[in-house]
Structure 1
């Protein structure tokens, strides 16, 4: 995401989720999709993805990061 090619990043992380839904990388991929959507100005979609992280991976560092990002989007 350093190159700011957010659509490509979203596509990549969506592929990870589809191909490896039970992977240890699933939570991080979902979080990064949320970040990329937010950076693209798609805040409503970003919020949905970040809420998914919190719901599906509660009590994890990834959920904490999602919560922090959600709060920043509500400002």
Structure 2
């Protein structure tokens, strides 16, 4: 999970143009990072590209924070 977290963090830093030092598993995309709908789209797209997985629209709506993303990606890669 640590490797996945670091890779998810890289995507978030790149998409959101932020310094990732304060990112944690509890960081929420909308409330904490002020991600709008386009940011969310680019985050999901970035995760799909980085991990070579597909995330359906239904699953994407369930990914609200870093932990959700890491857990979904770990499960998709398993």
Q: TM-score, normalised by structure 2?
A: 0.34
Higher relative contact order (CA 8 A, sep 6+): 2
Q: TM-score, normalised by structure 1?
A: 0.35
